[in-house]
Amino acid sequence: MDNHILQEAARTYNTPCYIFDLDVFISRIRRMEQILGKQVNIYYAMKANPFLTAAAAQAAGGLEVCSPGEYAICRRARVPAQKIVLSGVNKEESHIRSVMAEQGAGTYTAESLNQLRLLEACAGAAGRTGVRVLLRLTSGNQFGMDEEDILASIRNRDSYPHLDLAGLQYYSGTQKKGMEKIEKELVKLDSFMDFVREHLDFEFRELEYGPGFQIPYFEGQEQADEEILLQEFKKALDSLHFKGIIFLEAGRFLAAPCGSYLTRVADVKRSQGQNYCIVDGGINHVNYYGQTMAMKVPAYRYIPQDNPVRPPASQTSGDRWTVCGSLCTSGDILVKNLPLDGLMTGDLLVFDRIGAYSVTEGIYLFLSRKLPVVLTCTQEHGLSLVRDALPTDILNDGSAMEIYQSQSNS
């Protein structure tokens, strides 16, 4: 995304704002498909960025949906039911009954034996048979089931006459460096599926796996060659005994590089020998995985604006600034000691590689500041407004409930 687009966004829609490049997002899906081959279907984990849902429905094989709210977004985006994998550690009975009644999901995951019984009960109540279910294997946390519970569910599969125990799901976390851990996980999954085949006379037809490829965010982090990484991953997949359908769950890896966050310098000052830059955004909008006390420098750009009183560069060379947001907390620091020669109010700062999670993970309700503008960008259509700036004060004020309800109904 070039600076001209970013400056146009600032002029037309003001700051702060997110800009998501849909062409980049779709091209990343296409490239993964091209390298990994037809055996692998790319599924987008929409928790990474729900504003990419419609684009993902167009380009990806499916979407991983983890809450009633995410499901509602998919329905409004007219995502075909067969492309929805309804996942999540907490499945609410009323929601599952509603989804099954309208045949709104193609696949469900089961994270416990209780969830498996819930899916069976809801499928029976809806008169559905052959409801596709993926059994989630735990990686040692609150998600998924132990091997023993999965084996028990397969042994007792006659207890679930309305369900089709189609496959296995596994995801152990994000930001994995290199292939070593991924290869170990694939060997583990392959061995487990071999055991099920040999000892329980049961064949998993599908495997959904989340590799958790790393996205480097900060200066000094090694940038892996994604082409080589994906080729090595394909070799690991090809070596599996399992020859069924593979669904590759990816969120951060697909979304992070397609997003930028644009914020404007609102004030500059010097205090006790330190230069401070105050921007109109803050940590309520910018959230990089692995950032610690603003000590790491993320991918950023500095775009000075026309200002006739800007001092010559020779007078400001070497200036370093601590970039702070608009929140009334000493923790609202985006980055420390950033070299920004000649910085002045009105200048723009761009934080790149922010297409995943920041748009939803920030502490958005703190101080009742507005939610930032969300834009998408394509080469064909340019900038498009997806969400205008939204007030949050009505969410933090019980006396404003009538206003909130009227806006919700409109």
Active-site residues, by number, are 328
Report how far Cα 328 is from the mean position of its chain's Cα atoms: 28
Q: Evaluate whether 355 touches 256 at the Cβ level (below 8 Å).
A: yes
- What string of DSSP letters covers 147-210? HHHHHHHHHTGGG-TTEEEEEEEEE--S-B-SSHHHHHHHHHHHHHHHHHHHHH-----EEEEE
Residue type, 24: V
Q: How far apart are CA 20 and CA 189, in angstroms?
A: 35
Length of the chain: 410
Residue 108, helix vs strand vs coil: strand
Among 272, 257, 334, CA closest to 302: 334
Dihedral sign computed on CA atoms, order 56, 58, 59, 60: positive
Residue 37 CA neighbour count, 13 Å, CB half:
11
DSSP-assigned beta bridge partners for residue 209: 170, 248
